């Protein structure tokens, strides 16, 4: 057993370990296991092997457990050792034994490691900018998942899938996921955001859309010695005729504490709010054909116009769309949109491994971009994943000296072709390929089966 485990560790460290040597070395996994005081028996699928197999499963286009076990067997097939069974039960039980807080801590460690690589030359006006947004994920229709993450109320029982709401903070410069929270489908974005503010560090700037622009949140962010740039919520009706003008389409305005306690705040939190705050309001027009939005009003706590010019803030908000692309990479490119696990606990573990895999790919893109002087955010995440998967067999077969040269080649091909920056690009939101003509499910499956039997 010990020999087989060591063989697998060597195989994974040669293939996955080298590209991710700084963010997810075996020493970090062991240290985290030790810090969390996790006890485990000597099995083939120990926490390290299970995590690496889980990670390679997420990175692969075929995310089945059978494919993951097949890789394990293939790694051991060329050695003179007993190969494990092709049955996926042992691997699935090993994933079940992985503590959720282990994956959570490794995810946060990967984010911190990559953030530390970002220097002031990459920052915005000397500040670190984070972007926040919310999205949804779907999961298998099981009793456990339905109980914890119910399907939308608009869907009939038995005809929908459990869905969860996620809130994520990304680094604007590196594109790495910093923090995550998870709740039921009908949770408002701002409720998720208030659980994520604890991940902000002093001097950070938080960028978000109008869903996060609330009086209490502006106050909270300022108390953390951070600043915010949000689009003004549509319910606010302030006009540019009020306030102190500091520039063209730019003024300082006073916001007053709401008269009644908003939903989501306790009475004590509401009573602790100051009677008023001063914010900066900037508005501008978009005259690009095809864009739905024609006028944008921004609210920010960055009050010093000499340090943060109007154009700089407008340009910064223009980059907020990057968070939509980051979420698309997670959900579409990596496949997190539809999860595979059948219990809430495993669903959360799966999400953390997706985020960990995403951060590891971002670290490869960062290394490739900084090594070959290409902006890391202009590199293709899908291309990075494809190159990594194709290079893994070569990394496995190479000697230690040759392996480093292959790794440098991997970075070079990742940085070879940058995705063009296409501002103001717009496309009609339509689908050309027609779906199948089968009707939508309007009754639970067991009722439809009875109809077939009686027909």
Q: Are 69 and 8 in contact (CB under 8 A)?
A: no
What 24-27 contacts at long range (C-beta under 8 Å, 24+ apart), as own/partner pairs, is 24/55, 24/106, 24/110, 24/356, 24/360
Same domain, 5 and 51: yes
Same domain, 199 and 326: yes
Same domain, 79 and 124: no
Same domain, 107 and 94: no
Same domain, 69 and 51: yes
Q: How many domains does the chain have?
A: 3
**Is position 367 within any domain?**
no
Same domain, 176 and 243: yes
Last residue of a domain, one of 68, 98, 128: 98
Alpha carbons 11 and 344: distance in angstroms, whole number: 31
Instruction: CATH number of the domain at 159, please.
Output: 3.90.350.10
Last residue of a domain, one of 52, 73, 98: 98
What residue numbers bound the domain in which 287 lies? 103-330
Same domain, 283 and 198: yes
Integer-rounded Cα Rg, in Å, for the chain is 25
Last residue of a domain, one of 330, 356, 388: 330
**Is position 362 within any domain?**
no
**Is position 64 within any domain?**
yes
**Is position 444 within any domain?**
no
Same domain, 79 and 109: no
**Is position 447 within any domain?**
no
Distances (CA, A) of 240 to 209, 235, 251: 20, 15, 8
Quick one: residue 162, left, alpha or beta (phi over 0 = left, psi -120 to 50 = alpha)? beta
Same domain, 281 and 412: no
pLDDT at 397: 83
Same domain, 63 and 38: yes
pLDDT at 244: 82
**Is position 387 within any domain?**
yes
**Is position 216 within any domain?**
yes
Q: Are 277 and 255 in contact (CB under 8 A)?
A: yes
**Is position 124 within any domain?**
yes
pLDDT at 289: 65
Give the tokens for residue 292. 């739905």
Same domain, 317 and 203: yes
pLDDT at 87: 93
pLDDT at 290: 61
Same domain, 120 and 75: no
Q: Give mean pLDDT in consecutive 10-residue pieces for the chain, a chain of 455 residues.
A: 80 76 81 89 86 91 92 85 89 93 93 86 90 95 95 90 96 94 93 95 94 94 96 76 79 91 89 94 79 80 93 92 91 94 96 95 93 91 93 85 90 90 75 88 89 84
DSSP per-residue string spanning 82-110: PPPPS-SHHHHHHHHHS-HHHHHHHHHHH
DSSP SS3 for 433: coil
Backbone phi and psi for residue 343, each to the nearest 5 degrees, phi listed first: -130, 150
């Amino acid at each position: 057993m010990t020999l087989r485990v060591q063989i697998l560790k060597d195989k994974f460290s040669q293939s996955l370990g080298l590209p991710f040597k700084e963010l997810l070395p075996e020493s970090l996994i062991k240290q985290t296991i030790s810090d969390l005081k996790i006890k485990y028996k000597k099995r083939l699928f120990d926490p390290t092997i299970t995590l690496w197999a889980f990670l390679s499963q997420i990175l692969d286009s075929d995310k089945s457990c059978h494919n993951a076990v097949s890789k394990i067997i293939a790694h051991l097939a060329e050695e003179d050792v007993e190969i494990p069974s092709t049955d996926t039960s042992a691997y699935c039980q090993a994933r079940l034994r992985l503590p959720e807080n282990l994956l959570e801590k490794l995810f946060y460690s990967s984010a911190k490691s990559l953030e530390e690589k970002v220097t002031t030359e990459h920052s915005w006006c000397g500040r670190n900018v984070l972007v926040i947004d919310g999205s949804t994920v779907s999961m298998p229709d099981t009793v456990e998942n339905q109980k914890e993450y119910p399907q939308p109320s608009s869907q009939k029982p038995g005809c929908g899938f459990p869905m969860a709401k996620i809130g994520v903070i990304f680094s604007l410069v590196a594109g790495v996921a910093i923090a995550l929270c998870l709740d039921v489908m009908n949770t408002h974005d701002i409720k998720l955001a208030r659980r994520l503010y604890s991940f902000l560090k002093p001097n950070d700037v938080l960028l978000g859309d109008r869903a996060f622009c609330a009086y209490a949140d502006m106050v909270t962010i300022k108390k953390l010695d951070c600043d915010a740039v949000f689009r003004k919520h549509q319910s606010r009706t302030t006009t540019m005729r009020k306030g102190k003008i500091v520039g063209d389409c730019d003024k300082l305005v006073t916001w007053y504490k709401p008269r009644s306690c908003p939903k989501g705040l306790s009475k004590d939190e509401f009573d602790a709010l100051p009677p008023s705050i001063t914010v900066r309001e900037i508005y501008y027009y978009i005259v690009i054909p095809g864009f739905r939005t024609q006028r944008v009003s921004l609210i920010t706590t960055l009050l010093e116009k000499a340090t943060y010019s109007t154009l700089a803030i407008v340009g910064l908000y223009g980059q907020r769309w990057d968070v939509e692309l980051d979420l698309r990479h997670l959900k579409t490119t990596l496949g997190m949109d539809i999860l595979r696990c059948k219990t809430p606990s495993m669903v959360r573990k799966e999400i953390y491994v997706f985020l960990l895999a995403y951060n590891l790919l971002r670290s490869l893109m960062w290394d490739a971009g900084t090594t070959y002087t290409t902006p890391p955010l202009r590199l293709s995440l899908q291309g990075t994943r494809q190159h990594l998967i194709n290079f893994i067999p070569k990394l496995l077969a190479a000697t230690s000296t040759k392996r480093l040269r292959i790794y440098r080649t991997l970075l070079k091909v990742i940085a070879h072709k940058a995705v063009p920056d296409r501002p103001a690009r717009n496309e009609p939101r339509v689908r050309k390929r027609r779906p199948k003509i089968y009707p939508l499910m309007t009754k639970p499956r067991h009722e439809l089966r009875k109809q077939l039997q009686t027909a």
